[in-house]
Structure 1
């Protein structure tokens, strides 16, 4: 048995298809279980004792709660009917990842390995699936967060790391995105972007806020706050996706000055927030003009009395303001721009 599609419906909020389907334990063990190791950064499997009751129930023939899978269509269009959905899912199942059910699939695997002649897993038992097929990774993340908000197992930061590692294809870009460990190596990683900065930028872009980390707020509450911001940011209604932002940064980084500017964590966070409103203006401008505008911004920013402000906070805030108002501010001189920045200092 493979996967049998029962229904296909439109998720009109995230412009995706929601599919309900059925398979069996045998297919799940062979095809779906390996997917839990597909992600670069995966939730740690919980202590097996937590799921020991489920393992015993599986051996006795219980019906496992549905597993939720996700697929992102890289090219083409969404399937429109059950036949097309079944063909697409079957052909692309190896590219799916598990949104909900990692622990259950692992428990099923343990039950199959630990079964004996007395208690043996029945591979023909049914397993039900919910499958989300999306065109846009950002919309998928929105749905992931609305499903997981308020639950401890999967934070917003963690979900973003999953998408960055498995959906966005950075290898197709000229810029290099590296881990902190790679950054310390000589050679190509010396002039690369930190992956942690890109994660923060994605989070800021989705939340439409530069206030994405605060040591004065406990981590669990900060994550809940961010999730609420993302849900309220209307990201599913935006025509701009984070992939567009990264592509733009990639193009602008052909300028050595702009590459260095984006390498500042607070700059790239502020840029990622402001660009949601000014993408067309910045994207259509000549790189030389953008570089000159950023140089004027830096001169104006350095004219602020840095001893009286929180430097990192204001750099995020004012770079976001500058980028958001780029079509109005990019032609100003240092003093005029300083006046505008002064009006927006927090």
Structure 2
């Protein structure tokens, strides 16, 4: 089976980062959008006195900069300093972990959702699909393609089998009502089905947080939460400043500058930090993700058909199933195998099959 030993290996760099980069890009776009929104609010607050005037009796340029240009210069300088302080706080919210050594198999005892959570500190939309595939691979459920876009997930696991399944996967099975033998859930992409999967994903996310806290893997980042509180407070003060309640409306600029610079503290996962134990588990899981995503030149024991198929659900959790199949084809010279527990040739296509039918956002 898997050779779970670690192997120090330089990053191949050919494939780039996996879905984690997509999340980072989304967070960056969120920060840019927030900065644009705050900038527009700031411009509106600064231009408002020229037309209507603030809450004070002053009008025009005096309402913006006050009677002293020195005060205006100080406000501008404070805005630059506040933006820099916000950026520094934003950077400190990101946890920098070293490149993990290559690992050719999953961490023992961790399901796909747990593996993703301990690396990213959240689970993505692919977690329910990955978990259902994992349950099918573990012979706990049976997947049946009833019709195009309509899947039936039937519980077939014995109580003993379910005890061997990781707790987060059991949470999804309980949410979908497929824990007992013969119980059926229909995934057809409908709003009803999507709502059930979405609720299951919410339950999985809550269970992951509880599991990580109970096992002392992740703890709250006090510095990040202080930064979030300061950003919220500065948002209120910026609004009061631009309304003229604090004096010239330019006094709102330093507060909005801090908020614009500190938007990174609201990015997903920044509110948590790995403990020493958590860093060890995260390194092992991230090393496995390196192999799945193609950032490692070799796949080791995963070249064995059974090991490759057991890793497929984890590849879906990280959103790299297509890269994983391409990695197998490159290393072995054979097409990626289709497992007996997945009754469709669309396994590695993210836009079809069970991956489409079990979308949590439908």
Which category describes the TM-score, using the shorter chain as reference length? under 0.3
**Greater RCO, 1 or 2 (C-alpha within 8 Å, sep 6+):** 2
Report the structure, 1 or 2, having the larger strand content. 1
- Normalising by structure 2, we get a TM-score of 0.24
**Pair member with larger Rg:** 2
**TM-score w.r.t. length of structure 1:** 0.24
